[in-house]
Structure 1
Amino acid sequence: MEGEAGDGGSPEEGSDAGELIAFTDDEEPEDDDARRARSRRTLLLLAGGGTAVLVAAGLAGALALVHPLMGPDDFQGQGAGSVVVEIPPGASAGQIAEVLARAGVVASARAFVGAVEQRGEEGNLRPGRYRLRRRMAAASALDLLLAPGSRIRRRVLIPEGLRGVETAARLAQGTGLPADQFTAIIAKPDGLGLPAYAKGAAEGFLFPATYDVERATTPRDLVRAMIRRFRHAAAHLDLEEGAKKIHLHPREVVIVASIAQAEGGRVDDYPKIARVIYNRLASGAKLEMDSTVMYGLGKHGIVASNAEIKRDTPYNTYMHRGLPPGPISNPGEAALRAALQPAKGDWYWFVTIDPEHRITKFTDKESEFVKLREELNKRLGQH
């Protein structure tokens, strides 16, 4: 289809409809100023439909040349040297970009924000201290921020079976924060998210795991994190529903798990220990667990002396029937699972005959229990 080109002429015959046609008016000579002015007025004609659409001449080519110049400043490559930056909690991609730009990591905040938006990583940026390099391409800086190895942090390992006071000491040792602050918070954990069935006591609910410690982490933050991890494990195990199935209160499940954790040498023994506890509870017998006696006395060990057994505390299960009033350790997930899913068996007693190698034997015969106890006493007497 042919179309009018206005005063500047018409397209050649055979030109395709929609073809972009550049044209100029060369009838009169021009001086340099006139030529520059004319260049700015150069137009493209889009032929078709009988309508002339005027577009700035050379638009596509101009954009191709100008766009790189219009983009944000950015370094090239992986950078060099080392610099530590701290990303505050709740910082947006723009705020993080400003931190990086001020530290000389990236050439401009805009370049970093652009890299984040292009890859959709804003939700994956985390607070903390990071070791980066100076003069990095924005994309390379983003890669390092997302790499776990770039994050500078301390880690504290809390093993299974520690008591609250021991947990406080371990946290203080691993973080350098005051032990008395941990102790005070554990003693009064108000507002830290304990489940209602904990009855306001943290013992038993300080979940053993490895915890990351940032520079801004406080003792209260860490204790809250431990309780949050317990709740996560409890949800994973469906602890509350599981407790109903075995006709226990959720807190009682944690108490049983804490005894299994304190008494057990190996993970495989936990379900058997839980079964011994349930068998004794069902028969109305006293639990007679040395670990509970020692907890009530503020001591450690799984073998109580005759004198210790005769000392009355709420945790003396040689004197008092039923479960002790609260957990005696902070159990891990394996012990919690064992309390919810005890092994099947008629065992009524167990003895860890070799504490060093964590060898425990189970029996439903009192005569065999006596022999196992004698074997343990003999071993302990030799050491």
Structure 2
Amino acid sequence: MALSRGSKGFLFVLFVVVGALVGAWLAFASGDAPADGPAEGEEIVVDVPEGLAASQVAELLEERGVIGSATSFRLAARFDDRASRLRPGTYELAAGMSSDEILEILSTAPEGAEVFRVTIPEGLTVDETLRRLADAGPHSVEDYQRALSAVALPQWVPVDDLPEEAVDFEGLLFPDTYDFRVNDDPQQIIAALVSQTETMLDDITPPEGYDRYDVLTVASLIERETRVVEEQPVVASVIYNRLARPMRLQIDATVQYARGEHTNRVLFEDLAIQSLWNTYETDGLPPTPISNAGRSAISAAADPDQTDFLFYVVADLETGEHAFATTNSEHNANVAEYRRLVDEAEAAADG
């Protein structure tokens, strides 16, 4: 017997609904580990920021390698009221967890759990970052230092090539605002900061001839050299142009790092400091980043402007903007103008 047009429409809708329910159940009940990601069952620490919707959490879980398909998780969450109760925090998950297990963990954090908020600014060293964490929460600097030895470095960090005096995690503790539970242990907290750096680098493609660690190192130089976001890609171009020549980078921020303190001015005698990080004395990039770089600096290091500039110097003492030059004579003129501005400012201060 032939079906009426209305009956056919009803069956089509029924098949769609049943198909969606079956898909949701499969995503709900089974694990979904990525084929080319972490091994099933491998522990993965995930920091879930406040205010993320279930769909955004799905993307985060896929990026971190907990699940293989954000779509499957979103489908399961659509039919589960726990998806509206997902809580921010740092969680220990595992590759291949089912959507049911993940939803249970993310939705049942203790109601009213005591948390502490910490803001890590851009441009800090590891030591400065640990002090920020200690000042904001229940753990000491020593607790975090011990945690550093327990957290695994990302596989793309060239551990075997780092000098003995290097700070392994320099540049890896991502600057951001975090909410942690007071009962999160220091290792979880450090792992969350490193995880954010990995997530940021997963979204970039290094320039030809460079790897992710190089990009992070260049970004750290940019972060310390300029506070003007709009000119960060230009500073990046200067760094890559000098590396291509090759010319020594001669970046003042590396001298400050080698000296162990940041000041407004670098003295002439500082330029001769014997250190692998002093780019006045050594060729190429320093062996590690010199600070933690933020999103804009990392983006600039991955996608620099295309320029012929080889030099820059501060042109505005208030804003920190720079004057850029392609020739030594142009740069010398810019330096002379900078010195005039400094002399005027010092005279006004003595006033």
TM-score over 0.5 (shorter chain): yes
Quick one: which of 80, 97, 120 aligns to 2:80?
120
Kept in 1, the 8 Å contact 2:315–2:321? The answer is yes
Residue 210 (1) aligns with residue 206 (2): no
Higher CA-based Rg: 1
CA distance 1:180–1:378, shift in 2 (3 Å): farther
Aligned residue in 2 for 1:44: none
More moved, 149-158 vs 199-208 = 149-158
**TM superposition shift of 1:374:** 3.0
Aligned residue in 1 for 2:323: 361
Kept in 1, the 8 Å contact 2:137–2:182? The answer is no
Q: Hey, what's the Cα distance between the residues in 1 that align with 2:88 and 2:199?
A: 23
RMSD: 2.8
Q: Hey, what's the Cα distance between the residues in 2 that align with 1:377 and 1:355?
A: 11
SS of corresponding position for 2:338: helix
Q: Hey, what's the Cα distance between the residues in 2 that align with 1:173 and 1:356?
A: 30
Kept in 1, the 8 Å contact 2:151–2:190? The answer is no
**TM superposition shift of 1:124:** 5.1
Residue 229 (1) aligns with residue 191 (2): no
**TM superposition shift of 1:380:** 3.7
Residue 153 (1) aligns with residue 128 (2): no
Aligned residue in 2 for 1:181: 143
Aligned residue in 1 for 2:297: 335
Aligned residue in 1 for 2:74: none
Residue 297 (1) aligns with residue 264 (2): no
CA distance 1:219–1:330, shift in 2 (3 Å): same
Aligned residue in 1 for 2:312: 350
Quick one: which of 269, 290, 296 aligns to 2:231?
269
Aligned residue in 2 for 1:325: 287
1:351 counterpart letter in structure 2: V
Q: Percent same amino acid among aligned pairs?
A: 28
Q: Hey, what's the Cα distance between the residues in 1 that align with 2:184 and 2:113?
A: 15
- CA offset digits 1:43-86 (Å, max 9, x no partner): xxxxxxxxxxxxxxxxxxxxxxxxxxxxxxxxxxxxxxxxxxxx
- CA offset digits 1:287-307 (Å, max 9, x no partner): 111111110111114642111
> Which runs of 5 or more residues in structure 2 are unaligned?
1-76, 90-106, 163-167, 347-351
Aligned residue in 2 for 1:260: 222
Kept in 2, the 8 Å contact 1:354–1:360? The answer is yes
Kept in 2, the 8 Å contact 1:353–1:360? The answer is yes
What is the TM-score normalised by the length of structure 1? 0.58
Kept in 2, the 8 Å contact 1:193–1:224? The answer is no
Kept in 1, the 8 Å contact 2:314–2:323? The answer is yes
CA distance 1:247–1:368, shift in 2 (3 Å): same
**TM superposition shift of 1:361:** 1.5
Aligned residue in 2 for 1:314: 276
Aligned residue in 1 for 2:9: none
1:154 counterpart letter in structure 2: F
2:172 counterpart letter in structure 1: F
Kept in 2, the 8 Å contact 1:350–1:362? The answer is yes
Q: Hey, what's the Cα distance between the residues in 1 that align with 2:286 and 2:249?
A: 9
Aligned residue in 2 for 1:220: 187
2:213 counterpart letter in structure 1: R
Kept in 1, the 8 Å contact 2:138–2:182? The answer is no
| Larger relative contact order, structure 1 or 2 (CA cutoff 8 Å, min sep 6) | 2
Aligned residue pairs, count: 243
Aligned residue in 1 for 2:334: 372
SS of corresponding position for 1:262: helix
Kept in 2, the 8 Å contact 1:206–1:230? The answer is yes
Kept in 1, the 8 Å contact 2:113–2:181? The answer is no
Q: Hey, what's the Cα distance between the residues in 1 that align with 2:226 and 2:270?
A: 21
More moved, 203-212 vs 151-160 = 151-160
What is the TM-score normalised by the length of structure 2? 0.63
- CA offset digits 1:259-316 (Å, max 9, x no partner): 0111012111111111101111111111111111110111114642111001211111
Q: Hey, what's the Cα distance between the residues in 1 that align with 2:146 and 2:309?
A: 40
Q: Hey, what's the Cα distance between the residues in 2 that align with 1:369 and 1:284?
A: 18
Q: Hey, what's the Cα distance between the residues in 1 that align with 2:136 and 2:156?
A: 30
Kept in 2, the 8 Å contact 1:353–1:376? The answer is yes
**TM superposition shift of 1:355:** 4.3
SS of corresponding position for 1:257: helix
Aligned residue in 1 for 2:29: none
Q: Hey, what's the Cα distance between the residues in 1 that align with 2:264 and 2:158?
A: 25
Q: Hey, what's the Cα distance between the residues in 1 that align with 2:218 and 2:269?
A: 25
Q: Hey, what's the Cα distance between the residues in 1 that align with 2:234 and 2:83?
A: 45
Kept in 2, the 8 Å contact 1:257–1:338? The answer is yes
